[in-house]
Structure formats: C-alpha cells, structure tokens
Amino acid sequence: MLKYQHPFSGLFPRRPEALAHDCVAHVRDNVYCATVIWALHRAFQRIGDDSGQSYELRQSAVKCMRAILLGWMRQADRLEKFKITQNLETCLHSRLDYETGTPVEGTGYKHLQMDCVGLYIIHTKIEAAFVQNLIFYLERAYRIPDYGMWERGSKQNRDITELHASSIGMAKAALESVSGFNIFGSEGDHTTVMFADADAHTRNSSILSTLLPRESASKVAKLDPLLVIGGIFQLFSGIG
C-alpha cells in the first residue's frame, strides 16, 4: 500500500491504476488507508519490532492525515462561509489533488459528506485553531442533510440530500472524542484545548436516536450506521 502514497503530498490515489487521467484522492479513502497503516504500526509496536518498520508506518499514517488537514486548511474561507450558510456551495471539498493536495473543483461531484471530517495530527496553534473550526463545522450535523458516505443522497439517487445516521453518528463520536482534549498534550495550554458545544452534542444524540435503526428517511439500516455504533471511526482519537 505504501508504494501508492505520494512522496510529497502524502495522499493515496482513488484509482492507482488510472493516475494518468484520474489524479484524485478522496478524503474518506485516505482516512481508511491511514487507519490500516496505523493498525499495522500498532501491531509491529506490540511485537517489539526493531527494524524501523513500526516508525515508518506511523509516520506514513501521520503524513496522510496531515495532508488531509492541509488540504482543508486551504479551504478555510469556505469553512467560515459554511458555518453561516450551511449549503452545498460552501461545504468543504472531499476530493483533493493526489499530487498537490489542493481541492478538486467541479460542480458534478457531491462534496457535502459530513462523515468525512475527522481528527488530525496538529503541530502549530494555527492548525489547532482550524481544528476547532472543524468542530464547529461538525456540531450542526444533526440538521444538515448531506449525501452520506455512499455519496448519492436519497435512495432514489435523484441528487437529493437527506439526514444520514452515519454522518450524525460520526459527528457525535468525533465531538465526544475531542471535547476537552488538549491537542498539544502536556505541552499545551488552555488555547489548545478543544471545545465542543454540549447542546450540539445532545441534539446530535437525539436525532441519531430518532433515525436509528434506519440510515435515513429513504434507506433502511445498512453497514454505515453499524460502523459508527461499533466505534471504528474513533481509531484516530489516540494518535499523537
């Protein structure tokens, strides 16, 4: 897998076999790749690996997650607008250029996918402030219809957004993981402690309970809400 990670951007391509004409990296795919690599790092660490593979795997996972963060930081103006308007035109792009990490523009793709937003490795207070903004971005997931993890919206695939249990559950899990967490650890101060609105968490919990066991108004329960319930998406809460 590591051979497909770009040496400069740190991203993994959506279609490795078609890089010549499809140089796109999807945020969700890259989070999955980083999850697998991080799991391997932990496995090598557990068996006492001393060949350097554990360190390399860890750094590859970190590099991938930071690449996503930097790609979204380039869209800081969109994030600020989304906090006000919460519409399709101002949401964060969920596809990045594989080589440069810049957002892939285009009107034909459904970028509003709340479940894509995760937790990242932070090096500076500027990045910490941006992650706090990402938390604000997530807090209103309970009232933001999106295209969901299947990128299709309603079951009829008619380009109609709707509330998804997987998106709200992902937002709820992220808020629980990050609330009160100091991103800089013991080296941080009060400015690097993440804040999550308790009322927003309660509303997300309430709407999630209302939606389950369905995935959305048009979809019955599938694998997506089960992933959230199982806690798989909280793997990265311990990174860093």
pLDDT tens, residue order, the chain (240 aa): 889 999 999 999 988 887 777 788 988 889 889 888 988 888 888 887 667 788 899 899 989 988 988 888 888 888 888 888 877 777 788 888 899 988 887 656 655 666 566 545 455 677 788 888 888 888 888 888 887 776 666 777 777 788 888 888 888 888 888 888 888 877 788 888 888 888 988 998 898 888 887 878 787 765 555 555 554 444 444 433
Domain boundary among 88, 111, 134: 111
Nearest CA among 238, 103, 66, 91 for reference residue 167: 91
For residues 3 and 105, state if they share a domain: yes
Cis ω for the linkage preceding 213 (within 30 of 0): yes
> Both 235 and 119 in a single domain?
yes
Shared-domain flag, residues 193 and 205: yes
Classify residue 49 as left (phi > 0), alpha (psi -120 to 50) or beta: beta
Q: Which of 64, 94, 111 is the last residue of a domain?
A: 111
Cα end-to-end distance, the chain, whole Å: 22
Beta carbons of 171 and 138 less than 8 angstroms apart = yes
Is the domain of 121 the same as that of 231? yes
Residue 97: strand, helix, or coil? strand
Residues 118 and 90 in one domain: no
Question: Does residue 213 share a domain with residue 106?
Answer: no
Residue 101 neighbours by CB under 8 Å, 6+ apart: 9, 10, 11, 25, 67, 70, 71, 74
- Does 95 lie in the same domain as 12? yes
Residues 163 and 233 in one domain: yes
Residues 146 and 226 in one domain: yes
How many structural domains compose the chain? Answer: 2
CA-to-CA dists, residue 118 to 92, 121, 137, angstroms: 13, 10, 11
Q: Which two three-digit tokens encode residue 18? A: 């078609």
Q: Which domain holds residue 185?
A: 114-239
* Pairing mode, strands 95-97 and 24-26: antiparallel
Closest of 30, 137, 163 to residue 84, by C-alpha: 137
Distance CA 134, CA 28 (A): 16
Q: Say if residue 96 is in the same domain as residue 124.
A: no
Q: Whole-prediction pTM value?
A: 0.67
- Neighbouring CB atoms inside 10 A of 195's CB total 12
Residue at a domain's end among 96, 111, 126: 111
